[in-house]
Amino acid sequence: MTQRIGVLALQGGVAEHLALIESAGSQAIRVRRPADLDGLDGIVLPGGESSTIDRLLRMFDLAEPLRVAIADGLPTLGTCAGMIVLATEIVDPAPGQQTLGLLDITVQRNAFGAQVESEDATVETVDGPVRAAFIRAPVVTRIGDDVEVIARHRERIVGVRHGSITAIAFHPELAGDPLLHHHLIHARP
Amino acid sequence: MTDLVARDAASVPVSTTQTGTPLVKRGLADMLKGGVIMDVVTAEQARIAEDAGAVAVMALERVPADIRAQGGVARMSDPDLISEIIDTVSIPVMAKARIGHFVEAQILQHLEVDYIDESEVLSPADYVNHIDKQGFTVPFVCGATNLGEALRRITEGAAMIRSKGEAGTGDVSEAAKHIRQILGEIRALQAKSDDELYVAAKELQAPYPLVVEIARTGKLPVVLFTAGGVATPADAAMMMQLGADGVFVGSGIFKSGDPAKRAAAIVKATAAYDDPAVITEASRGLGEAMVGINVADLAAPHRLAERGW
């Protein structure tokens, strides 16, 4: 049966994830309202502006249903802003910025500096090398006890996994690398 | 809680890294999609924009409506103002350089702005050449009124395009005209046979390989925002329904009666652009919109969109 993989589609780099999911033979669903969460086999929280996505999640009453779905085991891949949205703590939040608090990590936004420091890179992950872009990327500065580090870049933690949640600071979808999407799609047998 | 240093054994080297590639320049624009970029002239306005959910701010000394009203030569903003705004907000900060003024662009790159807008809102510094944007690490956004202009800017290295509209008017008609023009010309290219694309490239005054790429993919290779005259949530949603990836709002927010409320309403309507119920709610009780100027009442020399070629 074809897997149905959602992409949170409030703001940010949504189209690239939809394209990768469809090219892997799965059905890609734009998630913009709570009802869109029904019947998903996985979800991507894309990159974008994390403070904007946070405000829109609450504005459209999507934060709580999304939190419940992921907490109930919906396989999840968060990229960049998506990693920030999943974290329990942000070092330097925008004023009033909240998170879903599902992944026991502390993240630092824009940890590599301004856009001129953004990098095109191949990242070694536990699943294999991933070609990706770091765009004003965050890093993980603290991990909870059971959180696995799956990738580092410049000696800093840029990928973590805990249970059904994978979060990365970089953008394989911009480079068209489907490795981590395949992991998400096949998370449920 | 685990000591991170103790886990460093898992550290692996990265094979190659590179800054300033098209992937990372265009990639930041991809992360802005579905969002609103707001003009701000003070750190306090930048904070209001960030609180309202802006995806980025454009730091400048005068909004286009004031540039239009006060006249004179409009230039890059004071570096102090730009640095103060960078230090105030956590979202990306853009700033404007004059068309062709590569030294203003060098300064803005040195200040570490996240995007440079080579903008017709400022007075052009060179009436022949635009900035050679390929040589910069920082990405550029450029205005365009039609597809040929957009493709010339992309060839020069622009990593994002915004349809120009007519800045500082609060009149959305030119924004509608330019986004329809660009997307309409793309649709027309898609209908052409392969042997017609040579002449299409000649007529567009754009490189043939890029024209072929557009004909095949049906879209620009970079993000396309719209700008120039957006003043209400409905204006922003209209631009999104017409096919824009996102919206720049210049004078429309901080020239209105209640900027914080209007800014948040435009963010909401941009995200829910196809939902009339949400746009209706977002449009209620916003107070005075900017007064505005009808573009038809502007004499041709005062039309900013005609700057750039």
Alpha-carbon gap, residue B106 to B109, rounded angstroms: 5
Q: Which residues of B touch A142 (CB under 8 A)?
A: 1, 4
What rounded mean pLDDT belongs to chain B?
93
- CB within 8 Å: A56 and B14: no
Provide the residue count of chain A.
189
Scan for tokens 């993980």, then name that residue: A140
Burial class (CB in 10 A: 0-12, 13-18, 19+), B187: exposed
Least confident interval from A72-76, A183-187, B105-109:
A183-187
* Residue B294: predicted pLDDT: 84
Q: What is the ipTM of this complex?
A: 0.96
Burial B212-242 (b: 16+ CB within 10 A, else e): bebbeeebbebbbbbbbbbbbbbbbbbbbee
Task: List, as ranges, residues 66-85 from A with C-beta within 8 Å of B.
Answer: 80-81
Number of helices followed by number of strands (H, E) in chain A: 6, 12
Residue B9 has pLDDT above 80, yes or no: no
A35 touching B, CB under 8 A? no
Least confident interval from A1-5, B80-84, B187-191, B234-238:
A1-5
Inter-CA distances, B247 with B39, B95, B174, B240, B300, Å: 11, 16, 14, 8, 25
Could you say which of A115, A124, A142 has the minimum Cβ distance to residue B139? Answer: A115
- CB within 8 Å: B11 and A52: no
For residue A166, the one-letter residue type is T
Alpha-carbon gap, residue B242 to B250, rounded angstroms: 19
* Residue B5: predicted pLDDT: 37
What is the share, in percent, of chain B residues with pLDDT greater than 70? Answer: 95
Tell me the mean pLDDT in the region B99-124: 97
Tell me the mean pLDDT in the region A122-134: 95
Q: Which domains does chain A have, with CATH numbers?
A: 4-186 (3.40.50.880)
CA of A51, closest CA in chain B: separation in Å? 7
A106 touching B, CB under 8 A? no
B15 touching A, CB under 8 A? yes
Q: Which residues of B touch A118 (CB under 8 A)?
A: 19, 24, 27-28
> Degrees (nearest 5) of the Cα angle B142, B144, B146?
155
Alpha-carbon gap, residue A18 to A32, rounded angstroms: 14
Q: Which residues of A touch B53 (CB under 8 A)?
A: 51-52, 55-56, 59
Tell me the mean pLDDT in the region B265-272: 98
Inter-CA distances, A179 with A77, A160, A182, A184, Å: 12, 15, 5, 9
Band (pLDDT 50/70/90 cuts) for residue A189 is low
Terminal CA-CA length for chain B: 58
Whether A145 contacts B4, CB under 8 Å: no
Band (pLDDT 50/70/90 cuts) for residue B263 is very high
Task: Indicate the angle between helix axes B173-190 and B233-242, nearest 10 degrees.
Answer: 10
DSSP one-letter string for chain B: ---TGGGGGG----S-EEES-HHHHHHHHHHHTT-EEEEESSHHHHHHHHHHT-SEEEE-SS-HHHHHHH-S---PPPHHHHHHHHHH-SS-EEEEEETT-HHHHHHHHHTT-SEEEEETTSPPS-SS----GGG-SS-EEEEESSHHHHHHHHHHT-SEEEE---TTS--THHHHHHHHHHHHHHHHHHTS-GGGHHHHHHHHTS-HHHHHHHHHHSS-SSEEEE-SS--SHHHHHHHHHHT-S-EEESHHHHTSS-HHHHHHHHHHHHHTTT-HHHHHHHHTT--PPP----GGGS-GGG-GGGS--
Band (pLDDT 50/70/90 cuts) for residue B108 is very high
> Degrees (nearest 5) of the Cα angle B282, A90, A170?
90
A44 touching B, CB under 8 A? no
* Residue B7: predicted pLDDT: 34
Alpha-carbon gap, residue B309 to B304, rounded angstroms: 12
B81 touching A, CB under 8 A? no
Alpha-carbon gap, residue B214 to B120, rounded angstroms: 25
* Residue B291: predicted pLDDT: 78
CA of B197, closest CA in chain A: separation in Å? 27
Could you say which of B34, B113, B115 has the minimum Cβ distance to residue A11? Answer: B34
Q: In this predicted model, what pLDDT tens digit does every residue of B11-30 receive, in sequence order?
A: 434 456 899 999 999 999 99
For residue A56, the tally of other CB atoms under 10 A from its CB is: 26
- CB within 8 Å: A119 and B30: no
Q: Which residues of B touch A134 (CB under 8 A)?
A: 24
* Residue B150: predicted pLDDT: 98
Q: In this predicted model, what pLDDT tens digit does every residue of B155-186 receive, in sequence order?
A: 999 999 999 999 989 999 999 999 999 999 99
- CB within 8 Å: A49 and B56: yes
* Residue B298: predicted pLDDT: 85
Tell me the mean pLDDT in the region A112-131: 94
Torsion sign across C-alpha atoms A54, A55, A60, A65: positive
- CB within 8 Å: B31 and A144: no
CA of B293, closest CA in chain A: separation in Å? 31
Band (pLDDT 50/70/90 cuts) for residue A97 is very high
Give me the catalytic one of B25, B96, B177, B255: B96
Tell me the mean pLDDT in the region A62-71: 98
Inter-CA distances, B251 with A112, B17, B37, B121, B169, Å: 32, 39, 12, 12, 8
B33 touching A, CB under 8 A? yes
Best mutation target, A45, A83, A118, to test chain B (most B CBs within 10 A): A118
Computed on alpha carbons and rounded to an integer, the radius of gyration of chain B in Å comes to 20
The DSSP code for A186 is T
For residue A55, the one-letter residue type is R
A64 touching B, CB under 8 A? no
